[in-house]
A and B are shown apart, each in its own frame.
Chain A
Amino acid sequence: MTQRYPAGDVPVIELKNVNKHYGDLHVLKDISLSVRKGEVVVIIGPSGSGKSTLCRTINRLETIDSGQILIEGVPLPEEGRRLAELRSRIGMVFQSFNLFAHMSVLDNMILAPVSVLKKSRREAREEAMRLLERVGVADQAKKLPAQLSGGQQQRAAIARALAMRPRAMLFDEPTSALDPEMIGEVLNVITELAQEGMTMVIVTHEMNFARRVSDRVIFMDGGMIVEENTPEAFFSHPSSQRAVDFLQSIRTPEAL
């Protein structure tokens, strides 16, 4: 499962034998994974298999019990300023958007660039407007998050993460909280990012999107990486029985 890289090509994200427990529950079992620059890795698997937990350990929103996580070759610091600094290099997009409810969309965009990256407000605002333009919500900049549709909020949340000029982006089911008619607009933004070469780890249940956008699919079950393959190979002839069953189960109910 380990991959070989040309000398000097440090993976953007690297997990080595990561283990995590919630009490007695072993949620991540000896996970090893590297994501190269520009690579799009999609994580799929049944509910409770540990996908979110894996995603959240990468920027240490969750701590781990053993193993190592490296960002551009640097081990994640334990706590404090250095951890905050490293986190700021990894963008994260959540299922529930998580825009700051008391600030306009524009203020959401400039908070971290100004207070973490120490950019001037003017510079941060210009960059923010450029990004909002790009994800198609520039006309909503002055509004509060609650005044936007779910799809607009999620696009703004992606723009907010991009404003930090991240080295990689993590998405945890970015479209699962959206009404069906808004899923497309968000997936389009993510697809564009993929085409521009953004390094991404995406947890999703959107199989067509996964197949289209990913360079590599990781199938998790019971806290383990059960299968890791190219999207073509994974979706057309999965090698593990569990992956076969999973793909069956999600295809059957929505086979339109």
Chain B
Amino acid sequence: MSLSALLSQYGDLYLQALLNTWRLTALCYVGAFAIGIVVTVLRVCPVKPLRVFGDFFVQVFRNIPGAAMLIILVYALPRLKIMLSYEMCVIVASVLIPSAFCSEHLMSGMNTIHPGQIEAARALGLTFSQMIARVVIPQALRSTVLPMTSLAVGTMLTTALASQVPLRPNQLELTGVVNYINSRAVGGVLAFAVSAVLYVSTALLIGWIGATIDRKVRILR
């Protein structure tokens, strides 16, 4: 099959798949970020059990392979009477795993903050939550834009887990669409190559956005 034949026949499907990959990536990244911040706050809060829980959460989801996580979600949850759609299982896996890495980045970002600033915040009478919200998290975010950019790319690649569950054609993302095409026609390596180009282009776009943000917000020291 030539490239032009491939695109003329499956072009719309690729476009749909690209948009699905973008949608999944954006959704999962936002979710991962939100959970990552919450878990990080737990990991540094004054309440010991919450700190332990936060560390445990990160250790679990940082060290579990995406495929294993997906299997657990797809096969184990129904036994607990929790029924999630296949797509939802992919989303949960692609939120939880990156959220652990998000928290790790934030923790290292916090370590760049001079401890004196924390003392200054306490001495001014800020409460723990005011200090976290106004002094700690903003600085941790500003100093971790580049790793967070890599995390966005990583999240995108994790969403390829969707290719491992049965989905309707209009739900396929860039990896799933390759399986779909190759099960119907002989797209071969070319079918992969199209998706690869779309992945790489998206990654470059994300990288460019990240670098731009980083230049804007990086903290002078």
Question: Is the CB–CB distance between B125 and A100 below 8 Å?
Answer: no
Does B142 count as interface, using CB distance less than 8 angstroms? yes
* CA of A98 to CA of B221, assembled, Å: 11
Interface string of B111-129 (1 = CB under 8 A from A): 0011011011111111100
Using known A-B contacts A94-B116, A101-B139, A102-B139, determine if residue A81 contacts B123 with beta carbons closer than 8 Å: no
Proximity string of chain A (58-98) to chain B, C-beta cutoff 8 Å, 1 when within and 0 when not: 01010000000000000000011100111111111010111
Assess whether B219 is in contact with A101, with CB atoms less than 8 Å apart: yes
Interface SS, B side: helix
Q: How distant is the Cα of A115 from the Cα of B125 in the complex, in angstroms? A: 9
Looking across the interface, which residue of chain B has its beta carbon closest to that of A87? B125
Tell whether, in the assembled complex, residue A98 and residue B116 are in contact, meaning their CB atoms are under 8 Å apart: yes
Q: Tell me if B80 is interfacial: C-beta within 8 Å of chain A.
A: no
Task: Pick the residue among B117, B123, B124, B130 that contacts A101 (CB under 8 A).
Answer: B117
Residues of A within 8 A of B116 (CB): 94, 96-98
Closest Cβ–Cβ distance, residue B26 to chain A (whole Å):
26
B120 A98 Cβ-Cβ under 8 A: yes
- State which residues 165-221 of B face A: CB under 8 Å: 219-221
B44 to chain A, nearest CB (A): 16
Q: Which residues of B contact A164 (CB under 8 A)?
A: 124-125
Pick the contact of B117: A80, A90, A98, A161 (CB < 8 A): A98
Inter-chain contact B219/A112, CB cutoff 8 Å:
no
- Does B48 touch A at the CB level, under 8 Å? no
Q: In whole Å, how far is B69's beta carbon from the nearest beta carbon of chain A?
A: 35
By the criterion CB–CB under 8 Å, are A116 and B125 in contact? yes
Q: Is the CB of B119 within 8 A of A116?
A: no
The A-contacting residues of B in range 24-61, CB under 8 angstroms, are: 46
User: A115 and B139 in contact (CB under 8 A), knowing A61-B122, A61-B123?
Assistant: no
- Residues of A94-135 at the interface with B, using a CB-CB cut-off of 8 Å, are 94, 96-102, 111-112, 115-116
Q: Are B219 and A116 in contact (CB under 8 A)?
A: no
A143 and chain B: residue at smallest CB distance: B220
Complex contact B138–A112 (CB within 8 A) = no
CB distance from B183 to the nearest CB of A (A): 52
> A146 near B: Cβ within 8 Å?
yes
Q: Which of B113, B122, B127 contacts A81 (CB 8 A)?
A: B127
Question: Measured between alpha carbons, how far is A189 from B116 in the docked complex, in Å?
Answer: 22
Does A147 count as interface, using CB distance less than 8 angstroms? Answer: yes
B71 at the interface (CB under 8 A from A): no
Q: Say yes or no for B134: interface residue by CB 8 A criterion.
A: yes
Query: Which of B125, B135, B221 has the most chain A CB within a 10 Å cutoff?
Result: B125
B123 and A116 form a contact (CB under 8 A): no
Determine whether the beta carbon of B124 is less than 8 Å from that of A102: no
A24 to B138, CA, bound (A): 38
Q: Is the CB of B219 within 8 A of A84?
A: no
How distant is the Cα of A173 from the Cα of B145 in the complex, in angstroms?
35
* Residue contacts A-B, CB under 8 angstroms, 24 given: A59-B123, A81-B127, A84-B126, A85-B125, A87-B124, A88-B125, A91-B123, A94-B120, A98-B120, A100-B120, A100-B135, A101-B219, A102-B139, A102-B142, A111-B135, A112-B124, A112-B125, A112-B126, A116-B124, A146-B219, A146-B220, A157-B120, A160-B124, A164-B125
Given contacts A88-B125, A89-B125, A101-B113, 5 further A-B contacts (CB under 8 A): A87-B122, A94-B119, A101-B220, A102-B142, A112-B124
A-B interface, 5 closest residue pairs, ranked by CB to CB distance from nearest: A88-B125, A98-B116, A146-B220, A98-B120, A112-B124
Footprint of A on B, CB under 8 Å?
Answer: 46, 113-114, 116-117, 119-127, 130, 134-135, 138-139, 142, 219-221
